[in-house]
Chains A and B, each alone.
Chain A
Amino acid sequence: MADAALRCSGVYKKFRKGELYDSLRDLVPAVTRRLFRRSPPPGGLAEREFWALQDVSFDVRHGEALGIVGSNGAGKSTILKLLSRIMRPTRGAVEVDGRLSALIEVSAGFHPDLTGRENIFLHGAILGMTRAEIKRRFDAIVAFSGLEEFLDTPVKRYSSGMFARLGFSVSAHVEPDVLIVDEVLSVGDYLFQQKCYERMNEVLSSGATVVFVSHNLRAVSTLCSRSLLLERGRVVEIGPTNEILRTYLGRGQDARAQQADKDIRITDVSLGSPADRRVQFPTDSFVDITVEVTARTPHDDMSIVIGIADDNQYPVFDTCTQRLGAGPLSLAAGETLRCTFRVQLRLAQGTYHVNAYVHRYVTQQAYDRWLLATTFFVAGTTAVRGVANLIPSLHRCEKTESPAVPCATTEAAVAD
């Protein structure tokens, strides 16, 4: 435990499906049955039991941020509950060095009848702050939430966004040694989310250790240098976030490999070069998108199309070999074509997906398509919001002498 802030060693967690005996009436027959039946082998599963986690081991160094990714039901939340001591492992050990705080359900401690002000004190106490600490940070919490006007309104009158914002604001000011974050950064509007990320970065740079669970892979790739991929309760891989996300996102390719009976198929879509397999790129940088197509029977008159869609699957860009000036492409039986497009990522910060298609040159009929072939993240500057990065600069910003324009309006426009 010398340099590890947090360590899981050989952790197993067993759960039961369905109801256990919930009333005393059910308990009596259940206990009697148990007495007369041989107990299951140690570590084995009794009827209706299953392993939510199996042999999970990892550690997180002081000041490090670890991301945990995996599909629904992989066991991510169970790990967090074990780390935060809400549950105890069936086998194995969880060790935490220092004060731990969890941003799991940010407004769980709220009481609807109490006002915002009262709830700040209540929730703060539940999260482990002393009254004096809350008093000291009260103004910062309120300022962060942006709910100054509604402090004396019962929170049951709050909108769900306000509710979550207040919750996050309290939780974000706990200042723990180890912070556990579960999918809470998706609260509030765009502006508030940005604030949350900034706050997370602040927590990280203050030297705290962070364990971060999210389906928002961009957030994971921005915040965490190292990640862990979970699948059905087991650790598949642990390592640099880039590699982990590649493995995670690449699992769709395995499923595709099954349907290998097509006459012409897109067999690979990759970013960068074999030597550089990043998944996150700075805005405005150049990146190569390579599409590999294999034919089983001869094909000609083809073109290859790539498209980029944003996280909501809304298309933001597409291009094809034909429009870029290449003639009809042809492939003989058994031949493979690799076609690399170089694009400049004039995209704002966000998550983007690459779609690839093989079309007939003239009719645009699709031979094969691969949607969501690969995913990448663009790390942007805070100066730009939206999808496109039009690479702005402040060309001019000055007051005019004209008395016709009221001064206040001019200043507000400049400040904006």
Chain B
Amino acid sequence: MSELLGGIIGRRDLLRALAWREIRVKYKQSVMGMLWAILMPAVIVFAGVLVRYGFALVSGSPLRLGDVMSVSVRAVPWAFFVSSIRFGMTSLVGNSTLVTKIYFPREILPLAAVVSQFVDFAIAGALLTIVLAVARVGVSEQLLWVPVLVVLLVLMTAGVALVLAAGSLFFRDVKYLVEVILTFAIFFTPVFYEASMFGRWSSLLMVNPITPLLEGFANVIVRHTPPPAALGYSAAMALLAFFGGLHVFQRVEPYFAESV
């Protein structure tokens, strides 16, 4: 464990500097500035509300505020996951001059991309908190689950980003494959809808390790109920993704400079 994390801990100032670079560059010479942080979740929420409105028309039951809140609470972590994967995946190829010229633990590049996205996630989360307060969603002791869910989400995201960053360095088409998967993932991940809508098939949806996390966020924040039992599975997958991903990444790292 200390072997896996030693490089990152020893160079945490570099992790911070690189994450800060991503953020700084994104907001420099851009008109929208901070609004970029909430653009993607906002678009997802908008699309989600549209879909839910469609559901409501078909089923004949009215669209409730709780449904809109549920979609919003899922959209923010999902946006973090998707954009972290996108940026993390290209972080090695996009910094090929660094990879071929200067030595430092390479895992810092994809992790810095995830950290920089996490800042956007935090901004969007803060705004969402205000929206939730205005909508009088209320609080309960279930909110104590939120930090746990966030940690698991970050670990899983980072793990996937590490593996895909290395993969797309060796094989350029990994990037296109992942783009396709990310585009359609919103259909088999309960962002616009709830897993429970699928009745007895809902456990099949839980195979996707992101599902229990998103369901968990909606449960503890909007419905004030505990996260689904499948969260245990998600937690195991998140730890496996992170530590397994880091291990694989470090195994192939010596070949980066000559393959990039």
List the interface of chain A (C-beta within 8 A of B).
15, 20-25, 27, 81, 84-88, 100, 102, 104-105, 108-109, 111, 113-114, 118, 121-122, 125-131, 154
Contacts and interface: CB of A to CB of B under 8 A. Distances in A.
Contact of A15 (B103, B177, B258): B258
18 contacts: A15-B258, A21-B171, A22-B171, A23-B172, A25-B173, A85-B103, A86-B101, A86-B257, A87-B257, A100-B103, A108-B98, A109-B102, A113-B28, A113-B29, A118-B24, A121-B17, A125-B17, A126-B18
Contact of A111 (B11, B21, B100, B103): B21
Instruction: Decide if the interface of chain A is mainly helix, strand, loop or mixed.
Output: loop
Contacts of A121: 17
Contacts of B199: none
A85 B104 CA distance: 9
Given A104-B101, A125-B11, 15 more contacts: A23-B172, A23-B173, A24-B173, A25-B173, A105-B101, A108-B102, A111-B25, A113-B29, A121-B17, A125-B18, A126-B14, A126-B17, A126-B18, A129-B13, A130-B13
Contacts of A104: 101-102
B97 A87 contact: no
Contact of A27 (B18, B101, B103, B171): B171
Contacts of A154: 28
Interface of B: 11, 13-14, 16-18, 20-21, 24-25, 28-29, 97-104, 171-174, 177, 254, 257-259
B257 A108 contact: no
Nearest to A13: B258
Contacts of B13: 125, 129-131
Contacts of A111: 21, 25
B101 A122 contact: no
B103 A122 contact: no
Given A24-B174, A86-B103, A114 B258 contact: no
Given A22-B172, A114-B24, A131-B13, A108 B254 contact: no
Contact of A131 (B16, B29, B104, B258): B16
Nearest to A128: B104
A108 B14 contact: no
Contacts of B17: 121-122, 125-126, 131
A23 B171 contact: yes
A23 B99 CA distance: 20
Contacts of A23: 171-173
Contacts of B16: 125, 131
A350 to B, nearest CB: 30
A130 B15 CA distance: 11
Contacts of B11: 125, 128
B102 A114 contact: no
Given A24-B174, A114-B25, A126-B17, A87 B102 contact: no
A104 B257 CA distance: 14
Given A23-B172, A104-B102, A108-B102, A81 B21 contact: no
A24 B171 contact: yes
The 7 lowest CB-CB distance pairs between A and B, nearest first, are: A125-B17, A88-B254, A105-B101, A108-B101, A125-B14, A23-B173, A85-B103
A376 to B, nearest CB: 34
B70 to A, nearest CB: 38
Given A86-B257, A111-B25, A114-B25, A127 B172 contact: no
Nearest to A87: B257
A49 to B, nearest CB: 12
A102 B21 contact: no
A86 B100 contact: yes
Contact of B21 (A87, A108, A114, A129): A114
B97 to A, nearest CB: 5
Contacts of B257: 81, 86-87
B77 to A, nearest CB: 29
B250 to A, nearest CB: 12
B109 to A, nearest CB: 10
A350 B21 CA distance: 42
A25 B174 CA distance: 11
B145 to A, nearest CB: 34
Contacts of B173: 23-25
Contacts of B254: 87-88
Contacts of A109: 98, 102
A131 B21 CA distance: 14
Contacts of B98: 108-109, 126
A87 B257 CA distance: 6
Contacts of A125: 11, 13-14, 16-18
A21 B259 CA distance: 10
B29 A20 contact: no
A102 B104 CA distance: 11
Nearest to B29: A113
Contact of A87 (B24, B171, B177, B258): B258
Given A20-B259, A86-B257, A102 B103 contact: yes
Nearest to B22: A111
Contacts of B102: 84, 86, 102, 104-105, 108-109, 126-127
A16 B18 CA distance: 32
A84 B254 CA distance: 12
A27 B257 CA distance: 19
A366 B133 CA distance: 96
B25 A113 contact: yes
A94 to B, nearest CB: 12
Contacts of A127: 102
